Amino acid sequence: MDTTYSVKIWSIRVYRGKRKTSYSVRWELDGREWRAPFATHALADAFRSELVTATRRGEAFSLVTGRPGSHQSGASSVNWYDFAIQFCDAQWRRTSGNDRKTVAKVLMTATVALLRMPPNGFKAVDVRTALREWAFNTKRRHDAPPEVAVILKWVERNSLSMAAWEDPAKVDDVMHALSTKLDGTAAAASSAKRSRRVMNVAMEYAVKGRILRVNPLPKGRGTSPKTSSAVDKRSLLNPTQAAALLGWVWRRPRGGRRLHAFFATIYYAGPRPEEVVAIRVRDVHLPDENDVDQWGEMLLHTAQPEVGKQWTDTGDIHEERGLKGRAADDTRPVPCRPALTKILREHIKAEKLKPGDLLFPGEKGDILAGSVIRRAWRTARQKSLTPDEYASPLGKRVYDLRHTCLTTWLNNGVPPAQVAEWAGNSVPVLLATYARCISGQLKDLQKRVEAGDDLPDPSAEC
């Protein structure tokens, strides 16, 4: 039996924390305690009055949600799967391709956790694929193949209602699923935090649509994993290691010199990989070969992240958008040091590139594929580094070339404000990311401290 008339309603409990005070309504159903927190005493008292009124009317209370029957009409009448589809479509219009993929993955995990029974008639991997790649993809949902449509029909029939979010135990189950991998181990803190952020938006959407009364996700300290944006110093390359890696790429038989120029651009100038693949030849201003000053400049204005054609509005693998954290038409100049000037000049000449061409085109003249970039870098690490270095985080990602460049600038005394401008970051983000990697300036700083120490010696007055 899913309902009971054995109800005890207790007085409001007040909790005064360091930051705020909360008011909890507590009641008991067949020996099990339930509670609902509120920000003000008035809200808590109003909710408690509703529970008392329901008991006086002789209403049965649900053992699943803990609420009386009069509270179940909104959430109980809405299927979670149907709500997730609606939320997905609402988010699709306002999010980028990568964000769409994240939303689909989070909704897929939550949906599996909110099934009435495990998918015994289907493989678990097929259910997850059907949800992630079809159900929660607004663009592809109506073109799902017959075998996928059968799975999605089963999921819709076996999904719990939105009333499940009024059960704290079920909320804990969903949040646990979002913070663990398929093998049961803990997911990365950044991944868990990103999943929680998506679910918080979904729950606020349910509250706004009056499906849920309050956001059921737990709040307060300790409910969200702590993350750090600081760069791991072990991932940074020294000049010898960078030279070995770039040298191997240059000697690569197929497309090696093009990829060498690509990686060198990130290493010497610090742009993001998705910005480098979008650079046109006309965006690079190089001095004349006979000019004494061989410093050039690149003008960045577009990024082309690789997200997959099923997640973009155009059907292209890459999604064109403005620079990260800037207005749509904003630009960012980046200095091109003499070593990079020479590499790019030779690259443009060897590839016979015209001003309107991509600076680093793929073999067919289109955008350089991320799979080609990652495969070349992975092989370069394997061939150039020692076994211990290869097993370490040293240069494990192409992005570590950018981290190495920005750290080098800071260590060489370039002001953080200037580095932030070239890198496309704010100064606070730059310092939070790279402060731990700044080194080699300790002796100079110690001298500055000593030079400013003009306090009198107390012992001299005795």
pTM: 0.75
Q: Is the pLDDT of residue 460 over 60?
A: no
- Residues 83, 114: Cα–Cα separation, whole Å: 12
**Which of 406, 412, 401, 405 has its CA nearest to residue 439?**
412
Residue 362 belongs to a domain? yes
3-state secondary structure the chain: CCEECCEEECCCEEEECCCCEEEEEEEEECCEEEEEEECCHHHHHHHHHHHHHHHHCCCCEECCCCCEHHHCHHHHCCEHHHHHHHHHHHHHCCCCHHHHHHHHHHHHHHHHHCECCCCCCCCHHHHHHHHHHHHCCCCCHHHCCHHHHHHHHHHHHHECEHHHHHCHHHHHHHHHHHCECCCCCECCHHHHHHHHHHHHHHHHHHHHCCCCCCCCCCCCCCCCCCCCCCCCHHHCCCHHHHHHHHHHHHCCCCCHHHHHHHHHHHHHHCCCHHHHCCCEHHHEECCCCCCCCCCEEEEECCECCECCHHHCCCCCCECCECCCCCCCCCCEEEEECHHHHHHHHHHHHHHCCCCCCECCECCCCCECCHHHHHHHHHHHHHHHCCHHHHHCCCCCCCHHHHHHHHHHHHHCCCCHHHHHHHHCCCHHHHHHHHHHHCCCCHHHHHHHHHHCCCCCCHHHHC
**Could you tell me if residue 456 is inside a domain?**
no
Q: Give the mean model confidence (pLDDT) for residues 40-66.
A: 87
Residue type, 462: C
Residues 73, 59: contact at Cβ < 8 Å? no
Q: What is the pLDDT of residues 99-153, one digit of tens each?
A: 999 999 999 999 999 998 888 889 999 999 999 999 999 999 999 999 999 999 9
Q: Is residue 53 domain-shared with residue 98, that is, in the same domain? A: no
171 and 281 share one domain: no
Crossing angle of helices 416-423/399-411, nearest 10°? Answer: 160
Please report whether residue 213 resides in a domain: no
User: What are the backbone angles phi and psi of residue 173, rounded to the nearest 5°?
Assistant: -60, -45
Mean pLDDT of the chain: 88
Q: Are 138 and 9 in the same domain?
A: no
Q: What is the per-residue pLDDT across 267-309, written as a single tens digit (0 to 9) for each?
A: 999 999 999 999 999 999 999 888 878 999 999 999 999 999 9
What's the pLDDT score for residue 291?
83
pLDDT in tens, 195-229: 999 999 999 999 888 888 889 998 765 566 666 67
- For residues 298 and 230, give the distance between their C-alpha atoms in angstroms, rounded to a whole number: 27
Q: What is the b/e burial string over 304-313, where b = at least 16 CB atoms within 10 angstroms of the residue's CB?
A: bbbbeebbbe
Instruction: Find tokens 């009641």 and name the residue.
Output: 27
CATH number at residue 405: 1.10.443.10
User: Residue 449's pLDDT is what?
Assistant: 67
**Is 449 a domain residue?**
no
Q: Which pLDDT does position 444 carry in this prediction?
A: 64
Stretch 431-456: mean pLDDT: 67
Structure tokens given for 103: 């939303």
Identify whether residues 141 and 277 lie together within a single domain: no
Confidence of residue 73 (pLDDT cuts 50, 70, 90): low
53-76 average pLDDT score:
78
What is the spatial distance between Cα 295 and Cα 5, in angstroms, rounded to a whole number? 81
The answer on 66 and 85 residing in a single domain is: no
450 found inside a domain: no
At 462 the pLDDT is 45
Task: Kindly tell me the sign of the dihedral angle through the C-alpha atoms of 65, 39, 79, 60.
Answer: positive
Residue 457: the pLDDT is 54
pLDDT at 461: 52
- Could you tell me if residue 462 is inside a domain? no
Whether the pLDDT of residue 331 is over 90: the answer is yes
**Same domain for 323 and 258:** yes
Tokens matching residue 378? 């992975």
Residue 459 lies in a domain: no
Structure-model confidence comparison of residues 320 and 442, the more confident one: 320
Other C-beta atoms within 10 Å of 124: how many? 12
Q: With pLDDT > 70 as the criterion, what percentage of the chain qualifies?
A: 91
Residue 225 lies in a domain: no
How many residues are listed for the chain in this entry? 462
Looking at this protein, which amino acid is placed at residue 327?
Answer: A
What pLDDT does 166 receive?
85
Q: Are residues 189 and 263 in the same domain?
A: no
Domain that holds residue 167: 80-208
The number of domains in the chain is 3
Say if CB 91 and CB 100 are below 8 A apart: yes
Q: Are residues 291 and 315 in the same domain?
A: yes
Token couple for 73: 């009409």
Quick check: 452 pLDDT over 60? no
pLDDT reported for residue 71: 67
pLDDT at 442 over 60: no
The answer on 363 and 256 residing in a single domain is yes
The answer to whether residues 322 and 301 touch, using CB atoms and an 8 Å cutoff, is yes
Looking at the fold, whether 125 and 256 belong to one and the same domain comes out as no
Residues 56 and 98 in one domain: no
Co-location of 20 and 97 in the same domain: no
The dihedrals phi and psi of 411, each to the nearest 5 degrees, come to -70, -25
